[in-house]
Structure 1
Amino acid sequence: MSLDRVLALHQRGLDALNRGRPLLGARALRAGLKLVPADEPAMAVRLLNSLAAAEAALGNTERGFALLDEAEAKATPATRGLLLQQRGLLLVLVGRMGDALTCLDQAIPLLRRERTVLARTLLNRAMLHQIAGRVTPALADLDRCERLGRELELPRLVAKAIHGRGSCELLAGNIPAALRDFDSARALYEKYADGMLAVVAVERARALLAAGLHRDAATELDFALDAFPRIRMDQEHAEAQLTRAHAALAADDLAAARTWANRAEGRFRRRGNETWAAVAAATRVRAEFAAGKRLGAVATHAAVLAERLGKLGLDNDAEAAGLVAARAYIQRDDLAAARDHIRTRSGSKSLLETRLMRHLALAELGAAAGDRTATFTHARAGLAALRDHRSRIGSLDLRTSTTVLGRELATAGLTAALDHGGPAEVFGWLERSRAQAFRFEPVRPPADSATVEAVAELRQLAHQVRVAELGGRPDPEARRRCAQLEREIRARGWQAEGTGVHDTEASFANVRAALGTDTVMISYASAHGRLCALVVTSQRARLVRLGSLATVSESLAKLHSDLNALCGRTLPTALDRVIRTSVGRQVAALTSELVAPLRPLIGDSDVVVVPTGSLSSVPWNLLPDMAGRPVTVSPSASTWLARRGTSLASPTRWLLVAGPDLAHAHDEVRQLAKVYGDGAVLMGPNATVHSTLTALDGCTTAHFATHGHHERENVLFSRLDLIDGPLMAYDIHQLHAAPTHVVLSSCDVGRTVVRSGDEILGFTAALLYSGTKTVVSSVASVDDDAAVGVMTAYHRGLVNGLPPARALADATTTQPLMPFVCFGSS
């Protein structure tokens, strides 16, 4: 009876450990040791072995080794493999990876009869291979572990094997596959090992950081950091703190990065893990370098850490620390010392981030030495590596976010071109450094049953929230559930893999040839906070230095505020006068900064604008120089040129949609129906999401007179209101064939969120990414009453054969405060 009790306590302890509850596990195992019979040494060995694991998980690694030494004195041939595998695991926790691998290699042949322990040992050896960058043997061990776990009906072990596979995919740079595995593991952990949810959250955060999504990574980490103190997983807690430092570093929150790195280093040192402590110290040094202070000390410390990390076998971390030292030396003009810390080539186990940093250091070294060729060569090579990485990603969200990984490389190349290059060189670097996501073949988001159900629930709840708001009865619970569903749908989208297909950027010669004699392209750029404009015609090109980007952004923000205040309201005369005066002042300021210096170059030509940053939301037709002139705004010259070959022609399949709760929507659609004749008109109960998407797929021209909402914090869910719920930007990516031309005549759904590298997101952007040639939409609130006449005139122009930009310029001449913009290619 006593042995049965001991066996039960041992099993309870193992179950608690496998659920990520080491404190509970240790209590059960200690109780079992007190009851183990003297004539059962093998049972005592097993209990001591498991208790060693629990103590280590609680941060008591010295106690864990002592327990293993005690067990060794009682070991039998049948239990030797058990002790070797456990010692290997504890050696991992103190950073002795080589010794750990030796123990596990010796243990595995001895564990053939201990199939459960064998499976766990394969899992641990896979982790060691992964840490050393040996992905192939790691995946082999994980596959064998997963097979054993399924045969033995051990779902927690299966979850850990899938979790480990995700870590290997992340190491190999396959972020979509990694996120798929992490989500699969998380689903199993929720059922069988809830204590592991915090661990997989840290792994997901690392994947999201590798994709440039530092805010989403921080959300995952904050969940994990809140959980670890309760479940007493000390090593994992320290790793989460270190990853949180990386997230803060990616967000340019350097003080927070140093704080988190210090906390992680302290926790690792208390555990006796000098290897991980050195990695944490290197992270803190990266934050100190980014702060730009005491660069001499930073360079010295980084160089010392590089040598130390190399001796510890962490080749990638050693290279990265050496590159920090090199970049610090470059800033101190000690180029000889910098060269000493840049390897001839990156190691075979170097991560993408490290390879990009090496190219950046060499580009900066070239700039400091006056070698523009080296700067351009290495900046171009780094961006090419990032492009290849991005081509494996299908999610537009991830494609646009990964640009941040090459931000400094793009800046290095563009700055060198702006300082010393000619127009052709500047043009090339502008095209390499902006709107790269447009160059990849669109991939439809996953349409699995769970995603379809989540989208359906989101649409129904969003409609419920809208109705409640209009009735003056907000529904905060429904709103919270909507936010949760948006996060889930967005996360599932991250799992889509790319096709690897991408287009090359347009050549300077081809763009000039396409401009013809009557069109000028103005490509805006910023460097060191200052704006410039590359003005290109078929005959000449010139770079013009402009003013401060901050000044322009401030004027633009004030203009948007004024336009929104005037929209659809009857204001007191005095207030109306004040706001209109402010509008005039901001328009004058924008004209002075953005257009006036370019007047001699643009003459009376049509204009194609390629904006940067906040300039994506400029209502160009409000500026006197642009009023009445065809103006087309495109994310890049390459995008403009690629779409230019698509003929808009006469609308042969057209769609007119009137949404609910918009006073003039039905009148507007009826007026347009008279312009077009027979076609698809959706109004009232017929204007559903399903019927609209069905008619929209592949149509020539679509016009939406509906309320729209620009969601700045979650732009994939910017939306148009229809009778049964919202049509979201997310839905646009599901279309098989994008409409050729779309008009959004209400609200401000022309606004975008601009990510690093001038990557844009929003409802208008979703249409352009999906292949729509031209989108006409507003970048500020629209007076719906006045919009009816403007839109009727606009569509008459289209039917009469005018290009969209020309038709819009003509239609808005009588309504000077109509902030419509023609996006794409006209």
Structure 2
Amino acid sequence: MRELHRDGIEATNSGHPARGARLLRAAAKLLDRPALADHPGRPTLAARVLSTLGGVEVVLGNSEHGFELLDAAEALPVALGDHGALRQQRGLALILVGRMAEALACFDEAVPLLKRSGEPVALARSLLNRALLHQTAGSVRLALADLDACAEIARAHGAVDGLPRTLAKALQGRGQAKVLTGDIPGALRDFSAAAEVYAEHGEGMLAPLAVDKGRALLAAGLPSEAAAELDLALARFPRLRMDQEHAEAELTRARAALAGGDLAGARRWAGRATRRFRRRGNDTWAAVAALTLLRADFTAGGRMRRVSADAARLATRLAGLGLRNDAETAKLLAARADIALAEPDAARAALADRALPGGPLANRLLRNLARAELAWATGDRRTTLAEARAGLKSLETYRSGFGSLDLRTGVASLGRDLAKAGLTAAWANGSPEVVFRWLERSRAQAFGIQRPHRPDGELADAVAELRQLAGKIRAAELAGASDAEARRRCAELERRIRARGWETEGSALRVSRATYGGVRAKLSKRDSVMLGFLADKERFRALVVDGRQASLVDLGDVAVVSEAVMRLQSDLNAVCGRRLPPALERVIRSSVRRQVTVLAEELLVPLLAKLGDADVVVVPTGVLSIVPWGLLDPLRGRPVTVTPSPSAWLTRCSVPAREPSDHATMLTVAGPGLEHAANEADRVAKVYPRAEVLAGNDATIEATSKALAEYESVHLAAHGHHEQENVLFSRLDLADGPLMAYDVQLLESVPEHVVLSACDIGQAVVRPGDEILGFTAALLYSGSGTVISSVARVDDRAVVQVMESYHRALARGTVPARALADATCGEMLMPLVCFGQ
């Protein structure tokens, strides 16, 4: 019987409660044997078996029967230590059905009893579960204290059966608490440490752990990555029979869908979770799920009166259940619904309470947003700007804790609505200087933090395997085949490499933000005009700034422009380097002319009087990041530079030129698979008196990476691949494999000037806040001053002459934007762009 009891506990704690229940039920049947009727140890043994089985029945959703078993166990005469274990077991069952206050009382009784009786395993588990209750109530400091004490016991008694798994759960709980404090890298490190233990001592716990990781990624503003983690976990839960954890995973998946703008998916997942919670009799978690459904209803618009009333009632209910953070979220949601209903007094009442001390960042930002919206609704623009500014300041501090560029750019999504509120109020203010400051405050903020720390070397093998597999996949593609297993393994390795990067600590050190006066002075010196584009739901707008004046201009329709940009890119890709039937080629070229005309009329014609003949600096937004500006007639032959933000441009303009060096300052690289790459590399090299060429088998990853860290200027004629779904692995093909955007971030230094003359490697994924990711972006983040690359496919034959002309102008001292404008002026289909400065 003792073996069945022990094995039942082992199976349950390993994440297999159904198997554990079978073993424990078998043990319970043995309690009725006549030989045990008068045995002096029977009460203690029976109490342990019944209480353990009761807890497992609750896990499996048989709550009523589970509590009957717990009642029976507690009715037996047991010793002090066993009484503490029984209170601990009941407390755990109460957590599973959402009776948090009762559960906390049980653990508060259990902990001192177990300390006095010297029960390390039961004491460690009680501390672990009490920490969960503190965390749920928002008492993170108390939770961390219990978790640290639990981990200390588990380490001190590591040989005791079950304690390695308890240590893993303490690490997992500590990660959960760190998510609440905003330490996402620390949380992810704890989750990784827990996963290593679970892999050996509790494989079934990896699914709940993935749910916690999904929550952390949501807190970092990466809903699609969170959804991927959650989908993997959700596929495993049915066979694990972890009904509560399964429901929590569905609810977290609903939150990921909501954050990603998938309202239908949010409602579907939240509905599933609600039904599962109700079947378990867990009213507490059902209330949390109801909050997610209300948030989806609010985001969809309409029925605001019902949202307001239901959110207010739900706030009271959640507060009564001890869920302070969720109650605050519901009250803020009610306030926002009242604002939408034009009922400011009701909104003020809902916002009257002070923010919870130490509450999650999401609630602090939501409070700032609600106050900004209330101020806007009542005509108080000053307060609107102040609240939006305060929220974005909190987000800036939060962002600085992330070492991963992936997280730094993703987190901007948490401040998307605040940035919109601030920009709207700034535009309404009518002052170009105010709009400029808000453009600076809300645009590409990741450029304002020192470049990410260099990760450790533990992933070298994973990166090497990824390169090898990428080459294998490429070879299969060229042979007209597909290697599904290699693709699956590549995706797995990419997830692992990204996840390791997410664990990197950040730095609070920032690059100074550009001032309005500083940018105007530099524009005057360079005889340039800056176009800062903004967008609301319907119209594009522009802030036009030069050294003499500044103005705000309304532009064209967002939908019209967006469609023209996408059609233009598709047309350029279709016609690039292909021998098409003459009739089809005429149709595509006609479409190209039509799309560039639409873009010119919608975006540039209203600005022509203000542009004069000055050079242009473009600060794009959204889809405008992939516009080939040099193809638009008003800008053809005119120097155009595209920069993520005014600060990014001014910072690069202010970097002093490098001191002359003794080695060659220009390196050209010819990658494989491009018919004219070697010719291009040789012709560019001949422009310079001191230049070196890497071609054929010499154009390796190692040699090119070394060159990128040493040379002032590098020209890369190599196939590029923009990976839309996993942009950090956008890459250039070299002789022995791919050079990835991920690799660029690890370089000690990068060239001041880089040319990427092939394919569409100038594309970027644009995240909220106009944070950009891609190969070109990686070079700019790492310190390159100028990157020439293409936003659509490039004809590798036609580009040879363009690049030779470009470099001849550059060698004569012409600035890159002017050199590119002159070199491409006669090419109707050359979508090269000058990024940086």
Q: How does 1:765-776 map to 2 (within 5 A)?
A: 765-776=777-788
Q: Paired residue for 2:49?
A: 47
Partners of 2:806 and 2:822 within 8 A in 1: yes
* Aligned counterparts of 1:444 and 1:684: Cα–Cα separation in 2: 33
Which aligned pairs between 1:470-489 and structure 2 lie closer than 5 A? 470-489=478-497
Residues 1:639 and 2:682 aligned together: no
Partner of 2:267: 258
User: Is the contact made by 1:648 and 1:741 (CA closer than 8 Å) also made in structure 2?
Assistant: no
Query: Contact between 2:181 and 2:358, CA under 8 Å: does it hold in 1?
Result: no
Structure 1 residues 357 and 611: alpha-carbon distance in aligned structure 2, compared to 1, 3 A threshold: same
Kept in 1: contact 2:198–2:205 (CA 8 A):
yes
- Return the offset for 1:630: 0.9
Aligned to 2:8: 13
In structure 2, the residue matched to 1:89 is 92
Alpha-carbon contact 1:242-1:260 (below 8 Å) kept: yes
Q: What is the CA-CA distance between 1:685 and the residue it aligns to?
A: 0.9
Q: Does 1:76 align with 2:78?
A: yes
**2:835 aligned with 1:823:** yes
**Equivalent residue letter for 2:277:** F
**One-letter amino acid of the counterpart of residue 481, structure 2:** R
Following superposition, the deviation at residue 349 of structure 1 comes to 4.0
Cα displacement (A) at 1:189: 1.5
Is the alpha carbon distance of 1:105 and 1:649 closer, same or farther for their aligned partners in structure 2, counting shifts above 3 Å? closer
Give 1:286-435 correspondences, 5 Å limit: 286-435=295-444
* Inter-partner Cα distance in structure 1 for 2:575 and 2:297: 47
1:166-193: CA deviation from partner (whole Å, max 9, x where unpaired): 1111111111111111122122222221
SS in 2 for 1:496: coil
Deviations 1:698-755 (A, max 9, x none): 4210110111111111110111000000000000000111211100011110111111
Alignment of 1:113-128 (within 5 A): 113-128=118-133
Contact 1:394 1:497 in 2 (8 A): yes
1:659 to 671, 679, 690: 671
Aligned with 1:107 (options 110, 133, 158): 110
The answer to whether the 8 A contact 2:409-2:446 is kept is: yes
Calculate percent identity across the aligned residue pairs: 57
Q: Secondary structure at the match of 2:384?
A: helix
SS across alignment from 1:333:
coil
Question: Which moved further from structure 2: 645-654 or 233-242?
Answer: 645-654
Counterpart contact for 1:698–1:740, Cα < 8 Å: no
Of residues 742, 755, 761, the one that matches 1:743 is 755
- 1:558 deviation in Å? 1.4
Alignment match, 1:512: 520
Q: Name the CA distance, whole Å, in 2 between partners of 1:809 and 1:542.
A: 26
Structure 1: distance between partners of 2:741 and 2:453: 12
How far apart are the structure 2 equivalents of 1:241 and 1:382? Answer: 30
TM-score (norm 2): 0.96
User: In 1, Cα distance between the equivalents of 2:422 and 2:744?
Assistant: 34
Equivalent residue letter for 2:62? N
Residue-by-residue CA offset, 1:138-180 (whole Å, 9 max, x unaligned) = 2222222223223233321121111111111111111111111
Partner of 2:501: 493
Q: Secondary structure at the match of 1:764?
A: helix
**How has the CA–CA distance of structure 1 residues 649 and 19 changed in structure 2, closer, same or farther, with 3 Å as cutoff?**
closer
Query: How far does residue 512 in structure 1 lie from its aligned partner after superposition?
Result: 0.8
In structure 2, the partner of 1:57 is 59
Contact between 1:558 and 1:586, CA under 8 Å: does it hold in 2? Answer: yes
Secondary structure of the structure 2 residue equivalent to 1:656: strand
CA-CA distance at 1:649 after TM superposition: 6.4
Listed one character per residue, the Cα deviations across residues 409-455 of structure 1 (whole Å, up to 9, x for unaligned) are 00011111122331111111111111111111111452332x11110
Partner in structure 2 of residue 454 of structure 1: 462
CA distance in 1, matches of 2:431, 2:499: 43
Partners of 2:180 and 2:359 within 8 A in 1: no
Contact 1:445 1:493 in 2 (8 A): no
CA-CA distance at 1:806 after TM superposition:
1.1
CA contact (8 A) 2:369 2:391 kept: yes
- AA partner of residue 60 (structure 1): N
Residue 483 of structure 1: CA displacement? 1.7
- Take 1:152 and 1:522, find their aligned partners in 2: how far apart are those partners? 63
Correspondences of 1:172-321 after superposition (within 5 Å): 172-321=181-330
Which residue of 1 is the match for residue 808 of structure 2? 796
Question: In the superposition, relative to structure 1, how do residues 311 and 681 fare at CA in structure 2: closer, same or farther (>3 Å)?
Answer: same
Mapped to 2, the partners of 1:399 and 1:559 lie a distance apart of: 31
Aligned partners of 1:116 and 1:152 also within 8 Å: no
CA distance in 2: counterparts of 1:289 and 1:196, whole angstroms:
35
Stretch deviating more after TM superposition (500-509 or 314-323): 500-509
CA distance in 2, matches of 1:147, 1:17: 23
Give the drift of 1:817: 2.2
* CA-CA distance at 1:468 after TM superposition: 2.0
Shift of 1:647: 4.1
- 1:784 pairs with 2:784: no
Whether 2:19 is the aligned partner of 1:24: answer yes
Alpha-carbon distance in structure 2 between the residues aligned to 1:714 and 1:739:
25
Q: 1:215 to 1:286 in 2, by over 3 A?
A: same
User: Could you tell me which residue of structure 2 aligns to residue 503 of structure 1?
Assistant: 511
Distance between the aligned counterparts of 1:91 and 1:385, measured in 2? Answer: 37
Point out the more displaced range, 536-545 or 109-118. Answer: 109-118
Q: Is residue 548 from structure 1 mapped to residue 582 from structure 2 by the alignment?
A: no
Q: Is this contact kept in 1: 2:234–2:249, CA < 8 A?
A: yes
Amino acid at match of 1:492: R
Structure 1 residues 120-154: Cα deviation after superposition (integer angstroms, max 9, x where no partner)? 11111111121122223322222222232232333
* Aligned amino acid, residue 483 of structure 2: D
CA shift digits 1:548-598 (9 cap, x unpaired): 122111111111122222211233322222222211111111111111111
Structure 1 unaligned regions, length at least 5: 1-5
Judge conservation of contact 2:436–2:516 (CA < 8 Å) in 1.
yes
Q: Deviations over 1:220-268 (max 9, x none)?
A: 2222222222221121122112111111111222222223222222322
Query: Is the counterpart of residue 620 in structure 1 residue 632 in structure 2?
Result: no
TM-score normalised according to structure 1 size: 0.97
| Dislocated runs of 4+, deviation >6 Å | none
| 1:724 alignment partner in structure 2 | 736
**1:786 corresponds to which letter in structure 2?**
A
- Higher mean C-alpha deviation, range 357-366 or range 147-156: 147-156
Aligned-partner SS, 1:721:
strand
- Aligned residues of 1:650 and 1:798 also touching (Cα < 8 A): no
Is this contact kept in 2: 1:649–1:801, CA < 8 A? Answer: no
CA distance in 2, matches of 1:792, 1:196: 59
Residue identity matched to 1:769 = Y
Contact 1:685/1:723 (<8 A) preserved = yes
Q: Distance in 2 between matches of 1:752 and 1:68?
A: 58
Residue 648 (structure 1) shift: 4.8
Contact 2:671 2:677 in 1 (8 A): yes
Which deviates further from its counterpart, 318-327 or 258-267? 258-267
Whole-Å separation in 1 of the counterparts to 2:684 and 2:483 = 36
Equivalent-residue separation in structure 1 for 2:805 and 2:656 (angstroms): 21
Of 646-655 and 82-91, the range deviating more from structure 2: 646-655
Secondary structure at the aligned position of 1:571 is classed as: coil
Q: Which moved more, 1:23-32 or 1:395-404?
A: 23-32
Query: Within 1, Cα distance between the matches of 2:303 and 2:547?
Result: 50
The residue aligned with 2:29 is 34
